[in-house]
Amino acid sequence: MGGVREDYLAVARAAEGLLEEPAVAAAWGEPSALAEMSVRGLAGHLAYQVLIVRQVLGEPEPVEETITLLEHYGRVRWIGAPLDDEFNVGVRRGGEAEAADGPGGLAARVGAAVGELAGRLESEPERAVRIPLWGAWSLSLNDLLVTRMMELAVHSDDLAVSVGVATPELPESAVERVVDLLSRIAVRRHGATAVLRALSRAERAPATIAAF
């Protein structure tokens, strides 16, 4: 298999291990490190990044146009949106709903999904897939996996910080893919000069080059 798919599965397994941490269950009803999101809701949102891949692979190939990763992030409406934006409210509600069966049930479902995906992704042809809540477009399967890999990496850190455990170690190749994506989005959002200065000239660095 190799490449993007192997990296995605490695990051998904790391998230699975984090969801199984006793500290997650102990803090289940507490606020997370993210504003207006509970640990439970954050765990559900993290799990979604695995469960949705299994879901979309079971659906027919979409007819919507297939676009690139950067085009995708240029179209999504949630970048820079306030916390009370309808999309962000929906994300928080969706995380809570996903976690309704409790920490053990959620971790078990993610584990089952990771096991299924390990076999499925080995033989699945590269094709278009889509998550309907994005909008009327599709991504290639490998590009979709990069988007979910980024979400898993970022939100695994959020969840680990929220419950006081170490952020899971990820393969170097997976980290490189995520950092590459985030840096390209940051350049698109803030401009090349701002990103170059932030990475090389502390005295001229802008206040932020956050991708989101």
Q: What is the pLDDT of residues 105-130, one digit of tens each?
A: 999 999 999 999 999 999 999 999 99
Average pLDDT estimate for 79-88: 84
- Per domain, the residue ranges of the chain are 3-168
DSSP code of residue 67: -
* Beta strand segments in 125-167, E: 128-129, 139-140
| H or E segment and range at residue 122 | helix 102-123
CA-nearest of 137, 184, 155 to 32 is 155
The answer, yes or no, to whether residue 1 has pLDDT greater than 60, is no
Q: What is residue 80's predicted lDDT score, i.e. its pLDDT? A: 79
Average pLDDT estimate for 129-154: 95
Minimum mean pLDDT among 67-71, 131-135, 167-171: which range? 131-135
Q: What is residue 77's predicted lDDT score, i.e. its pLDDT? A: 84
CA-nearest of 135, 163, 167, 168 to 66 is 135
Q: What is residue 78's predicted lDDT score, i.e. its pLDDT? A: 82
Alpha-carbon torsion, ordered 72, 182, 23, 55, to 10 deg: 20
Q: What is residue 195's predicted lDDT score, i.e. its pLDDT? A: 96
Whose structure tokens read 């309704």? 100
Instruction: Calculate the average pLDDT of the chain.
Output: 95
Average pLDDT estimate for 71-96: 89
Confidence label for 2 from pLDDT (cuts 50, 70 and 90): low
* Beta strand segments in 21-171, E: 128-129, 139-140
Whose structure tokens read 């994300």? 91
Alpha-carbon torsion, ordered 112, 115, 121, 127, to 10 deg: 0
Contact in structure between 1 and 123 (CB atoms under 8 Å): no
Contact in structure between 162 and 19 (CB atoms under 8 Å): no
The answer, yes or no, to whether residue 178 has pLDDT greater than 60, is yes
Q: What is residue 142's predicted lDDT score, i.e. its pLDDT? A: 98
Contact in structure between 117 and 50 (CB atoms under 8 Å): yes
Average pLDDT estimate for 13-21: 98
Q: What is residue 132's predicted lDDT score, i.e. its pLDDT? A: 85
CA-CA distance, 125 to 161, in Å (whole number)? 37
Ramachandran sector of residue 131 (left: φ over 0; alpha: ψ -120 to 50; beta: rest)? beta
The two tokens of residue 171 are: 């393969």
Average pLDDT estimate for 176-192: 95
The answer, yes or no, to whether residue 37 has pLDDT greater than 60, is yes
Confidence label for 84 from pLDDT (cuts 50, 70 and 90): confident
pTM: predicted TM-score of the whole model, two decimal places: 0.95
CA-nearest of 51, 55, 54, 33 to 42 is 33
In CATH, 3-168 is 3.20.20.140? no
